[in-house]
Amino acid sequence: MSAILNFLRGCDRVLGVILKAISGLCFILLLLLLAANVFFRLVPVFSMGWFDEIVEMTFAWMIFIGAAELWRLDEHFQVDVLLKPLRRRRTGCIWKLAIDLFCLVFAVIFFLYSYRLTLMATDTTPIFKWSKRLLYGCMPFAGALMGLYTVRNILRDLKELVEKKVKIQGGKTMRSGKCALVIFLVAALTTVLVLPGFSAAPKYNWKLASVLPDTHPVHKALLFFADKVEEKSKGQIKITVFPAGQLGQEQDYIEGMKLGTMEIAKVSSAPLGQFSPSLQVVSLPFIWRDLEHQHAVLDGPIGKRLMDDLYKNGFKGLAFLDAGFRNISTRTKPIRVPADLKGMKIRVMQSKPLIDTINAFGATAVPMGQSEVYVALQQKVIDGWENNEPTVLSFNMQEVCKYYSYTRHCSIPDILVMSRPVFDALPADLKTAVESAAQETVPVYRKIWADYIDDAVRQLKAKGMEFNEVDDIKAFQALVRPIWKEYESLVGADLIEAIAEYKTK
């Protein structure tokens, strides 16, 4: 019996030293992470994608390590608060052991849950692997820390029970051997019941970003794509869609995917063309005769060529998505002839072909993020903007822009695109699953888009927006004809000609 007591005392001392050292290390790391948060907030160049994870995980440290510290003080809490009335019944030690057993079960469940979150963390590029492992690793680490504190308290309970038998109701006794058996059975039962539920955690947990709100038809297509990926990957890939610019603007998404800090996004081809020059051809004015022409080109060899160029420049293009024809919407008057645009400031995306087009019409193009447009129109900073009907409705732009004029000057498709480093890191079967899901999304989205156009126009008219055709579209086309010539050296005269002359069936 004395040997058992000495062993328990030794374990208690060793655990005490280990836990004090671990607690000190935890608080040092917590302070470092808090300092990192301040640094990343003050230095914008570093505040991309993974900054949000650091903020999130710092608060996790604060919660989990704080809980672990409270756990270390639970003996005082148990003895002075919970067990004081029970001491009168001479069953305090039994109740203390029961509380510690419950705490052990909780610590095991918490560890398994946090380990699941660790599995969901996706390493993207080598430069971030160590940081993500450290950040996500703090959660199961904190769970293990709480478990160690609980085990230490249980050892103390066992030591008390070995030193003297504790009488319970009916005159029976509970010895340390039975306590150990109870501990083993509870821990084993918890593991059996909880572990299977956590073992099915997805191996990859991705964020899919979009600036469009969840009322926009593209959002339904993105949800369809996310579900298809999960289905085809058999649960190994989980995609969460973040609409309405929750993760920033499209330029942020593109730069994040280039670095590998953002996995996947829906962006317009226009800003993406800054990184893959040949893609700018789809933004040229009046290059598309209609959507049928655009579908035929992008579904064929030319579309594959553009996607291949995109891959060479650090992105994995998955699918082209309809974005309709862009038309000009203004605050004060409808646009019927190019002269009506003279002196007007018109918001555009960050796209050189689009800027050149609006400037050629006689207006002044003002590049601006989508989230800023409503306020800019409301405060009369700009006189109008250009976009498709569903996007006008989704952002309630009819409230600040009354007139919608059909210039149909551009039809710039959206692209479902992901980070090349993230895609390249996938095994072959999961690459196929993602690509297949994207291809199945295209016809679904095209139908959603086609059905929504007429409905959007009907709703906008009901809300007071006025629609008009321009007097002579050829007058607008003549003004932008030199732009094609200007881009021949950048995208290739052969590519422009191939698209313009493409014959649809």
Q: Return the pLDDT at 350.
A: 86
- Which residues does residue 345 pair with via DSSP β-bridges, in sequence order? 364
Mean pLDDT over 408-431 rounds to 95
Lowest mean pLDDT among 116-120, 199-203, 249-253, 376-380: 116-120
Q: Which of 199, 233, 262 is the last residue of a domain?
A: 199
Q: Is 136 part of a structural domain of the chain?
A: yes
pLDDT at 202: 78
| Whether residue 192 is found in the same domain as residue 213 | no
Q: What is the pLDDT of residue 21?
A: 66
Helix (H) or strand (E) holding 238: strand 237-242
pLDDT-derived band at 128, boundaries 50, 70, 90: very low
| pLDDT in the model for residue 109 | 72
Note the pLDDT tens digit of each residue in 62-97: 555 455 444 444 444 444 444 444 444 445 566 666
Confidence of residue 105 (pLDDT cuts 50, 70, 90): confident
Mean pLDDT over 207-212 rounds to 94
pLDDT for 445-466, tens place per residue? 999 999 999 999 999 999 999 9
Confidence of residue 159 (pLDDT cuts 50, 70, 90): low
Total domains, the chain: 2
**Residue 205 buriedness (CB in 10 A; 0-12 / 13-18 / 19+):** middle
Average pLDDT in the chain: 78
Picking from 28-37, 115-124, 281-290, 372-381, which range would have the lowest pLDDT averaged per residue? Answer: 115-124
- Is pLDDT at 36 greater than 90 in this prediction? no
Q: Which residues pair with 367 in a beta bridge?
A: 348
CATH value at residue 449? 3.40.190.170
Strands (E), 322-470: 326-330, 345-348, 364-367, 384-387, 403-410, 414-419, 466-469
Closest Cα to residue 64, out of 136, 157, 5, 167? Answer: 136
- What one-letter code names the amino acid at 247? L
| Domain that includes residue 227, residue range | 204-322+413-457
pLDDT value of residue 119: 57
Looking at the predicted structure, is the pLDDT value of residue 17 above 80? no
Of the CA atoms within 13 Å of residue 53, those in its CB half-sphere come to 25
pLDDT band at 127 (very low <50, low <70, confident <90, very high): very low
The C-alpha atoms of residue 166 and residue 91 are separated, in whole angstroms, by 7
Taking a C-beta distance cutoff of 8 angstroms, is the pair 464, 454 a contact?
no
> Could you tell me which residues come within 8 angstroms of residue 6 by beta carbon, excluding any fewer than 6 positions away?
none
Q: Binning pLDDT at 50, 70 and 90, where does residue 168 land?
A: very low
Specify the DSSP element, H or E, that contains 193.
helix 176-199
Tell me the C-alpha distance between 70 and 74, whole Å. 6
426 in a domain, yes or no? Answer: yes
Of the three residues 199, 219, 235, the one that is the final residue of a domain is 199
Percent of the chain with pLDDT over 90: 53
Angle at 255 between CA 386 and CA 370, to 5 degrees: 25
Note whether 171 and 251 are same-domain residues. no
133 plus 268 within the same structural domain: no
Q: Are 176 and 253 found together in one domain?
A: no
Average pLDDT rounded to a whole number, residues 30-54 = 48
Q: Is the pLDDT of residue 149 over 70?
A: no
- What is the pLDDT at residue 172? 41
In the predicted model, is pLDDT for residue 438 greater than 90? yes
pLDDT of 348 = 95
* pLDDT value of residue 260: 84
Statement to judge: residues 156 and 38 lie in one domain: yes
Rounded distance between C-alpha atoms, residue 40 and residue 22, angstroms? 27
pLDDT of amino acid 101: 74
pLDDT recorded at residue 143: 65
Residues 229, 136: one domain? no
206: CB partners within 8 A, 6+ apart = 122, 237, 238, 239, 240, 263, 264, 422
pLDDT (mean) for 463-473:
97
Q: Is residue 400 part of a domain?
A: no
Q: Is residue 348 part of a domain?
A: no
165 lies in a domain?
yes
What are the pLDDT digits (tens) for 276-298? 999 999 999 999 999 999 999 99
| Stretch among 20-29, 177-186, 436-445 having the lowest mean pLDDT | 177-186
Residue 194 falls inside a structural domain: yes
User: Does 488 score more than 80 pLDDT?
Assistant: yes
Does 339 reside within a domain? no
Among 412, 384, 389, 137, which residue's Cα sits nearest to residue 291?
Answer: 412
> Which of 104-108, 126-130, 385-389, 468-472 is least confident?
126-130
The answer as to whether 30 is a domain residue is yes
pLDDT at 189: 45
12 close to 159: Cβ distance less than 8 angstroms: yes
Q: Is the pLDDT at 122 greater than 50, yes or no?
A: no
Q: What is the pLDDT of residue 366?
A: 96
Question: What is the reported pLDDT for 231?
Answer: 94
What is the rounded distance in angstroms from the CA atom of residue 226 to the CA atom of residue 321?
15
The verdict on 150 and 211 lying in the same domain is no
Q: Which of 199, 218, 250 is the last residue of a domain?
A: 199
The pLDDT of residue 203: 85
Q: Are residues 70 and 150 in the same domain?
A: yes
Give the tokens for residue 292: 């049928």
Same domain, 188 and 264: no
Quote the pLDDT of residue 233.
95
Tokens 């050296």 -> residue: 489
